[in-house]
Structure formats: structure tokens, C-alpha cells
Structure 1
């Protein structure tokens, strides 16, 4: 009898696939022969008011070639993303994503404000560097919009699915489109 994977297993596998597809665009050309420095995963904090995210992304890496971004994806799309990780680059598949021109440079932080429709979302931060073949990702955080929609309380903090990013080859990433 086959059992269905848990939500955390599904999110882990989905993130792994998305990371592998998305990272190649930023890192593949410069990796050959480059000295590697292990990337530290970014810090992602956010608040949600009504349907507006205020998301702060911090790149803790000193490597001047590193950059960090984030993405928000509807939880209902995780199965489709697991089946075909290349969908991460499909226009409109992600709810929100850091634009390539707005990625966070080394030792910097940036705050983004954006609106999303009602729903249940996974929020992930990622860092890449052309000198590092292993990207780094934050633990995905799950949140409902509005906050009380699924949690039952508008003051509840977002759930943090611990350990998921550690299963991503000790990190993961997604290049901005």
C-alpha cells in the first residue's frame, strides 16, 4: 500500500526541483574553475497586513558575487511544481518573485512590499553565486492571506517548516527571472 507524502515532504521535494531548475541560469557559466566559498542562507522576515506583504531579505554573505532573492508560491501549486520543476520559470506560476535587477547584494538587505490574493503560500529566500555550485535557501515559511483564513487567528505567526532547506544539498536556490 502506497501512502501519500506529507505536506513537508512534498514541499521539500518541490523546493529541491525548483532550486535545481532555477539556479542553472545564474550559476552555470562561472562555476568551472572558480574557487568556492560556502554560501550562508538568507534571512527572510515578513509581515502580512490584509493582503500586503512587507518582506525583508538579508544577504549575510561577504562574497561580492553573491545575490539573494525570494519567491512566494501558492501551496496548491506545490504538486504541479513537484511534477515539473521547470514550471517555476513559467510566467504567472509563482505569485511573487524577486526581479533579477532587485536581488540583494552581499552584506545588504532590502524590503519589498507587494500584494497577493487570498490564499495559502510558501515563502522561500535563496542565495546564489557564480563561484559557488551549491546555492543556499532559507527554511520555507507557510502563511495564509489573510492571516486568519487558515490559522484561526489574525495574530498567529507564520509556520516555519524546519529542516526543509537542509535537505536541499545543504542549501538551495532559485534564480530570478
Structure 2
């Protein structure tokens, strides 16, 4: 340990514990990002004192509280660490409230992102189904043309209407007329 008698330069006006106490009080009164200029104006303690002696504490306070990441497609989403909020703000109700508001915002953004992704998935599935329907419709229509059948190497019409099924084809009762298609 270094003895105070051997130190060169001016003695410190404030101890580290006093600076931490002042910093805690400032954080309680002024939530958000902490800057050295802001501290100097609020406490009348020079910026260089804060940056030299309390930079590690200030940097820690300015970092977002993150516990883990949620992998959502290509994006990584930080999740707040609730235990860290409680220990960090146990004597600071306003800080805890702000932390919980942040947590609420993260949950809300996750919910909104989930709704967007669900909507995109449904739209994609609907488009795929519509494409399949269009493909089969064009196949049915094309199968009635003999030249198209030869081109696509089809033996006969996909749907053929003859005297036997003419009445059924005109009826709108599809389930009873084509019962083989709807075997449950």
C-alpha cells in the first residue's frame, strides 16, 4: 500500500466513498446517461476528477443492463437482467421504475415484432396457396386443349365431362357428387 505521506501533488478534496455517494444522489435525481459535464454542473466538482477517479463506476452506470440475448432471425435482441435492476436500484425507486419501464418497452417491442412476423408468415402461406391454385387451374384449362396436352405430354383431360357426370358437374352440391374426394 502506498502511504499518503509519499504521495506527490495536491491531496484529494473528496474520498472515493464521498464521490460515490454524490454520484448515487445525482443518479437518483437525474436518471439517464451520465456525462462528466453534467456532473460538473450539478456538483461543482471538476470533470477531470470524475473522469480520473470514477470513470469505471460511471461507465458501468451508463451501460444497459443485459442478461442474455434472444435470437430472432438475424437480429439479436438484448433482454434486461431483472436481478441486476433490483440490486442496482434497491434504494432508488425512480431508477427501478425507469428500469421496469425499459423492460416493459422491450416486451412491447417483442410483441409487436411477433405480430409482424406472424402477419408476414400468413401472407407468405396465402401467396403459396394461391400460386398452387393458379397452377392447377391453368393445368385443368390447358388439359382441354389437345395441342397443349401433347406439348405437356398429358394423355387426357384432367377433368372430363361426359354424359355420365354431366348432371353432377352442373350441380353445386360438390360434396355429395364427388364423395370420393371428401372421404373423412
Task: Normalising by structure 2, report the TM-score.
Answer: 0.20
Larger fraction in strand: 1
Larger fraction in helix: 2
